[in-house]
A = this chain, B = another copy of it.
Amino acid sequence: MNAIDQQLSLYRRARLRTAELLFTTNKDDQLSRFVDIGLIVLITLNILAVVLESVKSVHQNAGEFFYAFEVFSVTVFSLEYIARVWSVIDNPWQPDLTHPISGRIKYMFTWMALIDLLAIAPFYLSFFAADDLRVLRALRLLRIFKLTRYSSAMTLLFQVFREESRTIGAAMFVSMLLVFVASTLAFVVENEAQPDKFSSIPAAMYWAVITMTTVGFGDIVPITPWGKVLGAFIGIVGLAMVALPAGILASGFDNALHRRRTMLQERVQDAMKDGVISPQEEQELEKLIRHLNLNTVDANAIIYAVKHQQAQEKNDCCPHCGKPLHQPPDPNVST
C-alpha cells in the first residue's frame, strides 16, 4: 500500500464522515449534533437579521454589523452546500445517488438542494444587479426553508396533506366556483353604487375571498341591499367551505396517528411471538417509533398493552378438557 492509496482512503473516509455529519441524525454522535444545532441556530439568526434589518432605524445604525454577519453566514452556507454536494454519494439514506457525477447532479435538483442554493444566491447576485437591493435582501428569507430539514413533525403534516389532497382539492374547487359566482354577482349589484370599489370582477373577487375566509377587513363593504344579502350569504357558505380543509386535515392527522399506532402494535405482537422482546427487537422498535413520529408515552402504552394481553392469553384454558388454549402445537402430533 503506497502513499497515494493511503491518501485516497483518507479522502474517502473524510467524505463518508461528512455525509454522516450532514445527512444523518445520530443521538450518540456528539459532533453531528453540534453541526445540526449550529446550523439551526445560524438559520434562526439569519431570519431574525432579515426581519430586523427591514426596520429603517436598525438598518441605519447597525448596517455594517449586519453586512459582516451576512458575509459570515453566506460563507458557512456555501461551505455547507459544497460539502453536501461532495459527500451526498456516501449518504446512506439515498442509495440511488451513489454515482459520482449523475448522483451529484440528481441531488442538486432535489428540493432541499435547490433551497440551499437559492438561500445563498441573492448574495452573489447582488454584485451584478446592484440597484434593486431590497427584493434581493428579502429573498434571503428563503433560508427559513432550510429549517424544514430538521422538523420531522412537518413531514407528517405534509404526508397528511398529500393523503387528503383529493378531498381538500374538492373543497377548494367548490370554493373557487363560489368565489367566481359571488364576485360576478357582487360586481353586478354593487358596481353602479360603488364604481371605485367594485370596479371589476377581479376587484370583487378580492372582496369575496376576504369575506368568505371571514377576514373581513372592511376596506370594501357592500352598500346596496342585495349586496348586503350576498355578503351575509357568502359569509355563511364560505365559512363552511373554506373551514372544511382544516377539519379534513385534523381528521386526517387523527387517522394517520391511529394507523401509526396500529402499525407499532402489529410489530410488537410479531416481536412478542416467541414470548420475549430481544435487545435487537427492542432497537428495531425504537427506530420504528422514531420513524413513525410517535411520542414515547403512547408508544410505551402500546407495548405494555400487548405484553399484558399475551400474558393473559397464556393462562386461558379450555373449560372442559382443561388444556391451555394458547400454547404452541404439540410437536408429537403428526400432521
A residues at B contact (CB < 8 Å): 47, 50-52, 54-56, 134-135, 138, 141, 144-145, 147-148, 151, 153-154, 156-157, 163, 166-167, 169-171, 173-175, 177, 180-181, 183-185, 187-188, 191, 199-202, 205-206, 209-211, 213-219, 221, 228-229, 231-232, 235-236, 238-251, 253-255, 257, 293, 295, 297-298, 317-323, 325-330, 333-335
Q: Can you list 8 contacts pairing A with B, beta carbon distance less than 8 Å?
A: A51-B183, A55-B201, A148-B177, A156-B167, A214-B214, A236-B242, A240-B249, A323-B335
Each complex incorporates copies of this chain amounting to 4
Find the B residue at minimum CB distance from A255: B254
Q: A202 and B55: CB pair below 8 A?
A: yes
Given the contacts A54-B187, A235-B213, A319-B328, A170 and B144 also touching, CB distance less than 8 Å: no
- Chain B nearest Cβ from A202, distance in angstroms: 6
Q: B232 and A239: CB pair below 8 A?
A: no
Give the residues in chain B near A235, CB-CB below 8 Å: 209-210, 213, 215
Find the B residue at minimum CB distance from A139: B184
Q: A321 and B295: CB pair below 8 A?
A: no
Give the residues in chain B near A157, CB-CB below 8 Å: 167, 170-171, 174
Main secondary structure, interface of A, reads: helix
Find the B residue at minimum CB distance from A232: B209
In the bound complex, CA of A50 to CA of B173 (Å):
18
Give the residues in chain B near A138, CB-CB below 8 Å: 184-185, 187-188
Pick the residue among B167, B218, B240 that contacts A246 (CB under 8 A): B240
**9 more CB-based (< 8 A) A-B contacts, given A210-B232, A218-B219:** A55-B199, A135-B188, A138-B184, A153-B170, A205-B232, A214-B214, A239-B246, A247-B251, A251-B253
Q: B245 and A240: CB pair below 8 A?
A: yes
Given the contacts A163-B295, A247-B247, A170 and B151 also touching, CB distance less than 8 Å: yes
Give the residues in chain B near A253, CB-CB below 8 Å: 167, 244, 247-248, 251
Find the B residue at minimum CB distance from A204: B54
- Chain B nearest Cβ from A246, distance in angstroms: 4
Most buried by B among A205, A213, A214, A329: A213
Given the contacts A138-B184, A322-B329, A216 and B210 also touching, CB distance less than 8 Å: yes
Given the contacts A135-B188, A216-B218, A236-B209, A329 and B323 also touching, CB distance less than 8 Å: no
In the bound complex, CA of A156 to CA of B174 (Å):
12
Q: A202 and B330: CB pair below 8 A?
A: no
Find the B residue at minimum CB distance from A180: B144
Given the contacts A236-B209, A243-B243, A249-B247, A323 and B320 also touching, CB distance less than 8 Å: yes
